[in-house]
């Protein structure tokens, strides 16, 4: 188990590309857009293209996700407050590391999933993993911390449950964001089938 501080976005900052941790190329591109010497028409065109790219990376989280309980639409992306703490509950997670893409082969126990899986999104194209895990965690917060969501899991090669959009139950999703209404901890995980739940990122939200 690893205790981490959430890297919050400064108040008033709404540019998702800047909030994408580790994406230095995007950040430099953003800085160039802010240069006053750039022609207005070129600036407008660049910003429009930038917006399309960002929205495109977020679209899968909306497009094929459905709640497991009645709810209108996908959860909103709500940034985690700066005074909250994120705990990485994955087994063997190293303290001081976000856990992004470092743990494979664990999944929440079936009985935990049956009782506490509140929302699931399965989608095809993987994007920047740090960005996706951040969005998955923000969707947990937007779904309704602390009543409706306490933990979020992003993983690749995740089995799609039978009945999800007519799935026969033997299919695998390239990417999945799973939200739980209870806290995950190392004891809640079991071994996943071989090759499933790859490059996992899990966070449990604790706020004062």
Q: Tell me the three-class secondary structure of 110-163, residue by residue.
A: HHHHHHHEEEEEEECCCCCHHHHHHHHHHHHHHHHCCCCCCEEEEEEEEECCCC
Q: What is the pLDDT of residue 164?
A: 83
Q: What is the pLDDT of residue 55?
A: 44
Is the alpha carbon torsion for 173, 179, 181, 184 positive or negative? positive
Indicate the pTM of the whole model. 0.65
Distance separating alpha carbons of residues 108 and 71, to the nearest angstrom: 23
Calculate helix-pair angle for 40-63, 24-33, nearest 10 degrees: 140
Q: What is the pLDDT of residue 32?
A: 41
Task: Quickly count helices (H) and strands (E) in the chain.
Answer: 5, 9
**pLDDT tens track of the chain, all 208 residues?**
444 433 333 333 333 332 333 334 433 433 343 334 344 444 344 444 444 444 444 444 444 444 444 344 578 899 999 999 999 999 877 554 454 556 889 999 999 999 999 999 998 866 788 888 899 999 999 998 777 899 999 999 999 988 888 888 889 999 999 999 999 999 999 999 999 999 899 999 998 8
At 31, list the tokens.
């800085």
Distance separating alpha carbons of residues 117 and 102, to the nearest angstrom: 23
DSSP 66-79: EESS--SSSPP--P
């Amino acid at each position: 188990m690893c205790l981490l501080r959430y890297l919050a976005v400064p108040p008033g900052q709404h540019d998702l590309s800047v909030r994408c941790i580790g994406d230095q190329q995007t950040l430099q591109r953003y800085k160039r857009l802010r240069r006053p010497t750039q022609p207005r028409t070129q600036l407008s065109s660049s910003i429009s293209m930038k917006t399309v790219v960002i929205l495109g990376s977020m679209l899968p989280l909306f497009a094929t996700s459905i709640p497991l309980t009645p709810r209108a639409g996908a959860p909103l992306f709500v940034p985690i407050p700066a005074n909250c703490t994120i705990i990485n509950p994955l087994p063997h997670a190293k303290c001081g590391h976000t856990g992004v893409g470092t743990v494979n082969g664990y999944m929440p126990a079936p009985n935990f999933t049956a009782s506490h899986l509140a929302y699931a999104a399965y989608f095809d194209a993987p994007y920047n993993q740090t960005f996706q895990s951040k969005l998955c965690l923000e969707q947990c917060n937007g779904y309704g911390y602390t009543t409706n969501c306490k933990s979020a899991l992003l993983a690749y090669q995740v089995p799609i449950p039978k009945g999800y959009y007519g799935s026969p139950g033997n299919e695998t999703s390239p990417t999945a964001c799973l939200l739980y209404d209870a806290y995950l901890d190392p004891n809640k995980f079991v071994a996943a089938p071989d090759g499933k739940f790859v490059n996992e990122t899990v966070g449990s939200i604790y706020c004062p």
